[in-house]
Amino acid sequence: MVLGSGCSPSVFQCAEDTQCGSAGFCEVSGFCSFLDETCPSGRRYGAFAGGTLGDSCVVLEVDASSGEVDETTSIPDLERTSSSSSGDTTSTGVVPVSGGSSSSSESGNDSSTGIAESSGTGPPPIQRIEDGLVVFYRLDESDGATVHDTAPQDPPIDLTLSGAGFEWVTGGLRFSGDDDTIAESTTSITKLNAACADTNAITLESWVTPVSVGTAGPPRIVTYSEDSGSRNFSLMVGSNVTGEQPAAFRGRLRTDSVVPNGTPSTVVELEPAAKEQLAHVVYVREANGDERMFVDTTVEVETTRVGDFAVWDTTGVMRLALGNEFTDPRPLDGTLHLVAVYCRALAPDEVQQNFDAGF
């Protein structure tokens, strides 16, 4: 993806049904489809299907000699059902984004979209990094009011959706910028506190398609906070609270050397054309204080945030949320496709691997 310039539509190719979420099917074309009774075949391609297939009905091939449906189309069981928010001071080292794509000739990926490219007859899908993964929202539930944490570490930190400004869409969860909409934790987040306290390192990762990149706030992608003025960490996209700072991806992290709000923010500036473009955004902070932010595997800013996590508020007043803040709303207008939290610093090659794996 190139931020600040036009790009081709995002394409997602699959190799197996599990890559299409709990309600999808990987067609022989290598693209995901979903149940749709209005289609003669009973299913419709998702928005990220390539060529002219996006949002079109799946066409079943029929053997002219026998009149039977070709079994290679992998007809699904049609009874299968789907599962059902402060001021901002930027840190030094900020750079505007004029690019951000990277190529990977060995992986066979479409680097312009950051989505893993594979087919039913190709190599197995690239596996995401799981070492140090503490919270993982794949956002493939398709319906319902629960966002499930599927990280390998227990207990899960599931989130409950409230408000009217959300919609499950193909490949993620769409937030409409509604002040009252949020996905928030209702269970203990002890595992996150314990794991990060041991390492004093963290990685925040998201695949996101922001409809707006300059909204004041800034809007939250993921936040571990009490309110708009106190947090342990946040990953955000937008301007500062007054709106006079540039549009940007912003990372905040509380240590014993910074204020409770986690400022100064680590900032990657965006151009207006970056809106509605799919981006893989990763904020990394190492135990020695080194920080960097990646956009589509490119390191766009490097800086330092000294201190440790001993000052994190672990009393229970801070909770985990997607798409908004708990008070003084900071609502996101955009689609989240994946959110992950690691209590360690991912290395550049690991960021690349997760990029190659897609969502």
Rounded Cα–Cα distance for residues 271 and 159 (Å): 32
Half-sphere exposure of 84 (CA within 13 A, CB side): 3
pLDDT single digits (tens) 241-277: 888 899 999 999 999 988 899 999 999 999 888 888 9
Report domain extents, the chain: 95-114+122-357
Confirm if 258 and 241 have CB atoms less than 8 A apart: no
Parallel, antiparallel or unpaired: strands 279-285 and 202-210: antiparallel
Q: Which two tokens stand for residue 350?
A: 């690991």
- DSSP secondary structure string for all residues of 140-179: ---SSSEE-B--SSSSP--EEEESS-EEEETTEEEEE--T
Q: Which helix (H) or strand (E) holds 300?
A: strand 298-304
First to last CA, the chain: 15
CATH architecture of the domain covering 95-114+122-357: Sandwich (2.60)
DSSP state of 121: T
Alpha carbon distance 21, 15 (integer Å): 12
Query: What is the chain's length?
Result: 359
Question: 């060995």: which residue's tokens?
Answer: 106
What is the amino acid identity at position 217?
G
**Local confidence pLDDT in tens for the 359 residues of the chain:** 334 433 333 567 788 887 776 677 888 888 888 888 888 888 988 877 877 888 899 987 544 454 544 433 333 333 323 333 344 545 533 333 433 333 333 333 443 444 454 445 566 788 999 999 999 999 999 999 999 999 999 999 999 999 999 999 999 999 999 999 999 998 889 999 999 999 999 999 999 999 989 999 999 999 999 999 999 999 999 998 888 899 999 999 999 988 899 999 999 999 888 888 999 999 999 999 999 999 999 999 999 999 999 999 998 899 999 999 999 999 999 999 999 999 999 999 999 999 999 99
Q: Give Rg (Cα) of the chain.
A: 20
CA-CA distance, 149 to 164, in Å (whole number)?
A: 22
The answer to whether 247 and 277 are in contact (CB under 8 A) is: no
pTM: 0.71
